[in-house]
Structure 1
Amino acid sequence: MDKKIALITIHGMGDTERDYYTGFYDQMKKSLGDQLWNQVIFKPLYYQDILQGQQEAVLGRMRNQVDWIKLRRFLLYGFSDAASLEYKKRVKNSPYYLTQKMIMGAMDEIFNETGTRSIPVIIVANSLGCQVISSYIWDAQRIDASVGIWSMQREDDVAEGSPRDKFRRMQSLKGFYTLGCNIPIFVAGHKKIEAIKPPMEEFKWYNLYDKDDVLGWPLKSLSPSYEELVEDIQINVGRGLLSKLFKSWNPLSHGQYWQDKNVIGHISDNIKQIIK
């Protein structure tokens, strides 16, 4: 069956397992049904392995000198993820560069799977992943990009403006879902705050956040460009009574977006509209 849409996920900060997406995958497949799901290319992105080796080494050198190891591990992974991905953006093989190279490679894989044709793309990003993918799109939209993979000579013969190049640059991005988005943390100190440009006329950006999630923020109030581009949707995350009871009303809500029924329902309805 021909593939009609690509669904891409990208995880957030911290010690994230490679199979972070499994609950989301299962719920989406159930919501869409086999006939529609078979028309979807599902591509989970994973950048934790770019950072994890060094993080483990640092923690190992200090493990015997400190207490609260689990909490320290959470903080070390979370904050060093954010710091490392914002460091040395102009340097080849930096975490910033390698993460963008991974995203570009995933876009190439999708493009190849479609038979080298463009199809609509939906991206679902969580936490730090929102900043990661937004930065990729921002850089890809700059003709004179000064950082990241778009600012450097690439080791391929893909012509600028070709169908593959346009697909790499997310020009087929139709839906962007940010879950527990912490972009405000990265841009709050800037005098001028600008959102990405809409990659296509039909582009929609839905930002779903829980007001009890201290790492998840609304985006419309950041600047006029965010006000115009983003639809903020406040939800009470959590799947099931126990999750709602113990996690939805406090900062633990940050880890509850992937299987939330509001998230699944909104994305699956959007996919159905695009496919049909």
Structure 2
Amino acid sequence: MKVVGNSMKIAVGFVHGIGKQKEHFHAAMAGLISKRLGEICPAVELVSKGIYWADITDRLEDELKEKLAPDHLHWNKWIDARGYAISFLGDAIAYQPLPHKAGDDDRNYIYTAIHERFYEKLQELAQCTGPSAPLCIISHSLGTIIASNFIYDLQNGRLPSGKLASISEDPSALVRGDTLTHFYTMGSPIAIWTMRYNDFGKPISFPSPALLAEGLPYGEWVNFYDKDDVIAYPLKRLSAEYDAAVTEDVEVRNPGFLASTPLNSHGGYYRSRTVIERIAKSLAELYDQTTRQPIR
């Protein structure tokens, strides 16, 4: 972990979830975290990038809606309910990798294209912060699965051919995922995804094996969930492996209009004071542990 003088740069990658998204989806939350961190630990500078992938699936979803338009299906005209369903369900289905043989990576081009975007943003972060800066990933909804899959593939040598095959040899420790100190999952359906395995599968190795090897086991994987959010689930109870990897399942009460309803609570994590405060304080503690400088 690199500290210049009494300051530290931390790379933060935000990964969005399902539905129509804007390229700067992360800006408001990044600003709130930076503001709070500036109050308690001004020596830390956050460098944030949004790992925006919605445009990759939007093209196929828009094409599908055009193909179905002549059928005049119910609920399309007034509230675009089917468009909503295609956008939300389509993202998850399109991202799901298909069984394929070695060398047949083009069949999983959505999965691969999203992970290539993830790789590109990590490279941008490394250029801005330095190759060995601490890495924090903040993910939401389907983005928690994308982040988990990306890190898992990287840690277990499951990278496909092409651009992604070079990640493990990248000179930047940050890009290789070796400096991952903080992982935040918000409104995560990972618990449902684990049903593909009879033992509920295995989580990513956390903390980063590279940090553990250096004797630096600080950081945390915190899973935020609102009990009213039907897409979000706790993770520690899934298995002994998840219990060891996940630092804490934190229940929150998301803000917003009708936030106590099953779906309207799902987007509130970006504005949750509980989430903002936990992340800011933990990143400040990272600086404290690295420099032995007390935080305010």
1:95 aligns with 2:110: yes
Q: Give the direction of change, closer, same or farther, for the CA distance of 1:62–1:42 in structure 2 (3 Å limit).
A: same
Which amino acid in structure 2 is aligned with residue 126 of structure 1?
H
Q: Secondary structure of the residue that 1:254 maps to in structure 2?
A: coil
1:29 Cα offset (Å): 3.0
- The one of 53, 61, 64 aligned to 2:67: 61
Shift of 1:159: 8.3
- Aligned match of 1:171: 178
Q: Residue type of the partner of 1:66?
A: L
Q: 5+ unaligned residues in a row in structure 1: which ranges?
A: none
* d(CA) in 1 for partners of 2:171, 2:42: 26
Query: Who is 1:221 aligned against?
Result: 237
Match of 1:77 among 80, 87, 95: 87
Residue aligning to 1:272: 284
Cα–Cα, structure 1 residues 272 and 42, in superposed 2: closer, same or farther, change >3 Å?
same
Instruction: Give the secondary-structure state (helix, strand or coil) at the position aligned to 1:188.
Output: helix
Question: TM-score, normalising length from structure 2?
Answer: 0.81
Higher mean C-alpha displacement, 170-179 vs 248-257: 248-257
Is 1:181 the counterpart of 2:188? The answer is yes
**After the TM superposition, which of the residue ranges 17-26 and 213-222 deviates more from structure 2?**
17-26
Does the 8 Å CA contact 1:181/1:207 hold for their aligned counterparts? yes
Residues 1:10 and 1:37: Cα distance change in structure 2 (over 3 Å): farther
| Alpha-carbon distance in structure 1 between the residues aligned to 2:133 and 2:38 | 20
TM-score by length of 1: 0.87
| Paired residue secondary structure (2:139) | strand
Tell me which residue corresponds to 2:228: 212
Match of 2:34 in 1: 29
User: 1:123 — aligned with what?
Assistant: 137
1:189 Cα deviation (Å)? 3.0
- 1:111 equivalent among 126, 133, 144: 126
Give how far 1:153 is off.
Answer: 4.0
Q: Is the 8 A contact 2:11 2:129 kept in 1?
A: no
Instruction: Tell me how far 1:235 sits from its aligned partner.
Output: 1.1
- Classify 1:159/1:80 alpha carbon distance in 2 versus 1 (closer, same or farther; 3 Å): closer
Distance 1:103 1:235 in 2: 28
**How much has 1:266 moved relative to structure 2?**
0.6
Which range moved further: 127-136 or 66-75?
A: 66-75
Tell me what 1:133 maps to.
147
Please state whether the residue corresponding to 1:36 is helix, strand or coil: coil
Cα distance in 1 for residues equivalent to 2:16 and 2:233? 16
**DSSP 3-state at the match of 1:208:** strand
Q: Tell me whether 27-36 or 195-204 shows the greater mean CA deviation.
A: 27-36
Residue 101 of structure 1: SS of its match in structure 2? helix
C-alpha contact 1:88 1:96 (8 A) present in aligned 2: no
Moved more, 91-100 or 215-224: 91-100
- Contact 1:13 1:127 (8 Å CA) reproduced: yes
The amino acid across from 2:17 in the alignment is G
Q: Is the 2:189–2:231 Cα contact (8 Å) retained in structure 1?
A: yes
Query: What's the CA shift for 1:25?
Result: 2.5
Q: Name the CA distance, whole Å, in 2 between partners of 1:159 and 1:47.
A: 19
2:214 corresponds to: none
- CA distances 1:189-209 after superposition (whole Å, capped 9, x unpaired): 311311111213224110000
Query: CA separation of 1:47/1:160 partners in 2, compared to 1, >3 Å: closer, same or farther?
Result: closer
Amino acid corresponding to residue 197 of structure 1 in structure 2: S
Question: Match for residue 194 of structure 1?
Answer: 202
Gap regions ≥5 residues in structure 2: 212-216, 289-296
In the aligned structure 2, how far is the partner of 1:58 from the partner of 1:217? Answer: 31
Q: What amino acid sits opposite 2:204 in the alignment?
A: I
Matched ranges for 1:39-54 at <5 A: 39-54=45-60
Structure 1 vs Structure 2: percent identity of aligned residues?
25
Aligned-residue RMSD, C-alpha: 2.4
